[in-house]
Structures are given as structure tokens and as C-alpha cells.
Chain A
Amino acid sequence: MKRIIAVLLMVLALPAYANEAAPAAQDPVLEQRVMRLTSELRCLVCQNQSLADSHADLAIDLKNEVRSQMQAGKSDAEIREFMVARYGDFVLYRPPLKSTTALLWAGPFLLLAAGGLALGFYLRRRRKRLTESELTPEQRARAEALLHARREGQTR
């Protein structure tokens, strides 16, 4: 009985540990802006995560940096520039259009064009093959004669 009461008390006490999540910052609007910008920036320590998602030490530092720059009135573009100046275009999940990234941007369209060309080529060859296989009048006459002969043979 004592044990049951003890367990019951423990269960009842659980909600006491629950607490409102601490507010991410005093200013939810600012925090949203921080999240929006950092979700487009790559965490360099854990390269397949964005700064917003990452809990790496450096990512937290950089998030704080972004926040304090926003508080200082910097625009998103200025902060992005700040990051690129230090870590290179690699921090951007949307790489800018440059000579080194031209292939990256144009690649899908090049592939599409190549696919279109290949399809056109294939269709033309196919049509040629189909028309070529049509019989000349003599061949047709001969084929009919043969078929006719066979049919007659069957009826007999």
C-alpha cells in the first residue's frame, strides 16, 4: 500500500518538473527573422545542416552573431555578405550565379536540352525505319500472291 501511494505521489509530482519553454528571446519577431536567415546558411561544422538546425558550438556563436547584427540594424543582405566574406559562398544554400557556379545553375537545363535532342533524334530514326519497312508495290503484290496461295492451300 505504501508503495502504491509512493508511486502515485511520484506520478502526481511529475507535472511539477514541466515548465514553459524559456522564450527563445525577448523579441519573437526578431527571433523569427534570425531563424529565417540562418535556415538559409550552412553550418560549416556539420555541413548538411543549416545554422538554424545545428547545435554545434560554432553554429550557436554564429546565430548569436546574426542576432546581434540584426539588433544593430543590419539588413539580411548585409549579414549574408558578412558570412560570405568569412566563410565563402559555401555558407549559402542558394549559391549566387557566377562563372564557377554557372554549370550548377545551367546544368539541369543543359540535361533537359540534351534529353530533348536525344528524343528527337530517336523519333526521327524510328519514323525512318517505319517508313522504310513499307513494301514496294511489287513486294506487296508478291506478298499477297503468297498469302492467297496459302489460303487456297488451307481450304483444300
Chain B
Amino acid sequence: MKRFLFPLGIFLVLSVFLAVGLKLDPREVPSPLIDKPAPPFQLAQLRDPGKTLGPGELKGKVWIFNVWASWCVACLQEHPLLVELSRQNLVPIYGLNYKDGRDNALQWLDTHGNPYTLSAMDADGRVGIDYGVYGVPETYVIDKNGVIRFKQIGPVTPKVLEEKILPLVRKLQG
């Protein structure tokens, strides 16, 4: 009996390690940008390229920053949720149109609805690099001081919105 204890112990330890490993998502890379100031940029607006948009102008309010593109399939998944959120007028959503064409992007918004107060055009993806974007869509919550407080990689789900984003927004809005 005793000789089975040792392999059994090893088996149990291994099982625990593997079980934990299964639960971890390697795609969820902890962002070093949390609690850091939102990287500054000044980009042309999507609808009105003559005007620019940057995080500097948004100081003083809590806002959601959503990276999207018309070529991004997963963006469609979260899109109805963002449109619904924008209707509730709880928090402004600003978009970063990532490596997209202007015409495609505008057409996409016309087809699927536009939840964005404004969108900025990041045609070459340079601002995306500053925000550590690697899997569109990505969503940030930025506080009144222009500090990133939350980052979601991949589509926003109703659960994430209800349990993480909205409580945080309410708290930050004070």
C-alpha cells in the first residue's frame, strides 16, 4: 500500500499544476499599461479628417477607449454591446480605428451602428503600438486624470461589461 503513496502524490501534484495551467489563458497578457498615463497622440478624426483627436482633450472625464477595425471579425461580436452602452449615455466611448481604410470604416459604422463619440484614425498602427495593441478589439477605461485603469484584450462580453467595466466607470466618475 505504502509503495503506491509516492506515485499517487506525484500524480496529485501534477494534476493540480495541469488543472491550473488549463485555466490560465496565455492570450491574457497582463498589460504593463494599467495605472500608467494613456500614451499621448494626435490623430485625424475618422469622419472629419481636418480635425484631430487626442487623449489630452479628454482630461477631466472618464472615457472608454475602444480599438476597432472594419476588417476585425471579433469587433462585430462586441459591437451591439457598445452600441447599447452608448445609448445609455453612461460614459463616452472613443474609438481608435486601427489600420483601416477610411471608406471601409465609415461604411462599417453606417451598417452596424456608431457607438463612438469620435473615432481617431490610426492608419499605420503606430498609436496601437504605444497602447500595446496586439489583438483587436481592445478596450481601455481611462480616468479623469488620463490614467489607464483597465484593459480588455479581445471582445467585451456582457459579463466583463457588467462586472468590471461599469462598476469601475461608476467608481471613477465618483
Residues of A within 8 A of B (CB): 44-45, 47, 57-58, 61-62, 65, 84-90
Which listed residue (A47, A62, A87) contacts B26, Cβ 8 A? A47
Q: Does B33 interact with chain A (Cβ within 8 Å)?
A: yes
On whether the beta carbons of A87 and B99 are closer than 8 Å, the reply is no
On whether the beta carbons of A88 and B31 are closer than 8 Å, the reply is yes
Which chain B residues in 9-67 approach chain A with CB under 8 Å?
A: 26-27, 29-33
Q: How many A-B pairs fall under 8 Å by CB?
A: 39
On whether the beta carbons of A90 and B29 are closer than 8 Å, the reply is yes
Q: How many Å lie between the Cα of A87 and that of B129 in the bound state?
A: 9
Distance (Å) between the CB of B55 and the closest chain A CB? Answer: 16
Q: How many Å lie between the Cα of A47 and that of B27 in the bound state?
A: 8
Closest to A44 in B: B134
Distance (Å) between the CB of B41 and the closest chain A CB? Answer: 13
- Beyond the given pairs A65-B129, A87-B134, A88-B132, 10 more chain A to chain B contacts, judged by CB atoms under 8 angstroms and listed by A's residue number, are A44-B134, A44-B135, A47-B26, A58-B133, A85-B32, A86-B130, A86-B131, A86-B132, A87-B132, A88-B29
Residues of B within 8 A of A (CB): 26-27, 29-33, 99, 124-126, 129-135
Q: For chain A, what secondary structure do more than half of its interface residues adopt (helix, strand, loop), or is it mixed?
A: helix
Report B-chain residues with C-beta under 8 Å of the C-beta of A84. 32
Report B-chain residues with C-beta under 8 Å of the C-beta of A62. 129
On whether the beta carbons of B135 and A87 are closer than 8 Å, the reply is no
Most chain A beta-carbon neighbours within 10 Å: one of B33, B130, B132: B132
Which listed residue (A44, A58, A85) contacts B29, Cβ 8 A? A44
On whether the beta carbons of A86 and B129 are closer than 8 Å, the reply is yes
Closest to B36 in A: A85
Report A-chain residues with C-beta under 8 Å of the C-beta of B31. 88
Report B-chain residues with C-beta under 8 Å of the C-beta of A90. 29-30
Q: How many Å lie between the Cα of A84 and that of B33 in the bound state?
A: 10
Which listed residue (A45, A85, A89) contacts B134, Cβ 8 A? A45
CB contact under 8 A between A61 and B32, given known A44-B134, A87-B134: no
**21 residue pairs from A and B, CB less than 8 Å apart:** A44-B29, A44-B134, A45-B134, A47-B26, A58-B125, A58-B133, A61-B124, A61-B125, A61-B126, A65-B129, A85-B32, A86-B129, A86-B131, A86-B132, A87-B32, A87-B134, A88-B29, A88-B30, A88-B132, A89-B32, A90-B29
Q: How many Å lie between the Cα of A88 and that of B133 in the bound state?
A: 12
